[in-house]
């Protein structure tokens, strides 16, 4: 599994900055509970940027907040690559990954 990079913010403005920088953004990044964004530098997915925190399971959706779901997924073996980077702001991310 390749490296995964997280951006710990998500808003229409953040997604616009990413698109303006040349990144493609999946529709899942616009889901209400997508509070973080993720990027796989090796380009394994059809879109560059994806949403994190949303849930397709209604039971889990009622039990855990989006941040709790992310934290649970981070703690699960094999859910994400062990090679991870975290950025608090999109500007920090774009300093390290200026273009896809």
Question: What string of DSSP letters covers 40-77?
Answer: -TT--SSSSEEEES--S-HHHHHHS-HHHHHHHHHHST
pTM of the entire structure? 0.90
Q: 52 pLDDT exceeds 80?
A: yes
Number of domains in the chain: 1
Parent domain of 31:
4-96
Band (pLDDT 50/70/90 cuts) for residue 67 is very high
**pLDDT, tens digit, 9 for 90 and up, residues 33-46:** 999 999 999 877 78
- C-alpha 67: how far from its chain's center? 12
The percentage of residues in the chain with a pLDDT greater than 90, rounded to a whole number, is 72
Q: 57 pLDDT exceeds 80?
A: no
pLDDT value of residue 99: 82
């Amino acid at each position: 599994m390749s490296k995964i990079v997280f951006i710990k913010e998500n808003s229409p403005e953040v997604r616009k900055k990413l698109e303006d920088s040349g990144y493609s953004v999946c529709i899942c990044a616009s889901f209400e509970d997508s509070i973080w964004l993720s990027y796989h530098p090796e380009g394994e997915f059809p879109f560059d940027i994806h949403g994190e925190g949303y849930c397709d399971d209604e039971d889990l959706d009622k039990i855990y907040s989006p941040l709790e779901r992310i934290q649970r997924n981070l703690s699960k073996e094999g859910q994400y690559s062990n090679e991870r980077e975290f950025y608090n702001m999109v500007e920090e991310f774009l300093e390290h990954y200026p273009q896809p």
